[in-house]
Amino acid sequence: MLTVTDLQASYRGLVAIQGISIAVGAGEIVAVVGSNGAGKSTLLKSIAGWVKPDSGGVSFLGQDLLSLPAHGISRTGVALVPEGRRLFPRLSVRDNLMLGGYTKKKGPERDAPLEFIFSLFPRLAERLDQRAETLSGGEQQMLAIGRALMGQPKLLMLDEPSQGIMPKLVDELLEAVRKIRDRGTTVLLVEQRVAECLDVADRAYVLQTGRVALSGTSTEIAADDGVRRAYLGI
Give min distance, CB of 145 to ligand ATP, in A. 18
Q: Which is nearer to ligand ATP, 35 or 134 (CB)?
A: 35
Residue closer to ligand ATP by CB (options 11, 71) is 11
Q: Residue 222 and residue 225: Cα distance in Å, rounded?
A: 8
Residue (39 or 113) nearer to ligand ATP, CB? 39
Question: Alpha carbon of 183 to those of 60, 154, 186: distances in Å?
Answer: 20, 10, 9
Cβ proximity to ligand ATP: between 38 and 73 the closer is 38
Q: Report helix, strand or coil for 226.
A: helix
Distance, CA of 234 to CA of 222 (rounded, Å): 11
Residues lying near ligand ATP in the complex (CB under 6 A): 11, 16, 34, 36-42
**42 and 83 Cβ atoms separated by less than 8 Å:** no
Q: How far is the CB of 15 from ligand ATP (least distance, A)?
A: 8
CB of 13 to ligand ATP, least distance (A): 10
d(CA 196, CA 70): 30
CB of 166 to ligand ATP, least distance (A): 19
Query: Residue 29's CB: how many other CB atoms inside 10 A?
Result: 25
Residues 6+ apart with CB under 8 A from 41: 82, 83, 159, 160, 190
CB of 152 to ligand ATP, least distance (A): 26
> CA-CA distance, 146 to 114, in Å (whole number)?
8
Nearest to ligand ATP of 97, 145 (CB atom): 145
The amino acid occupying position 147 is R
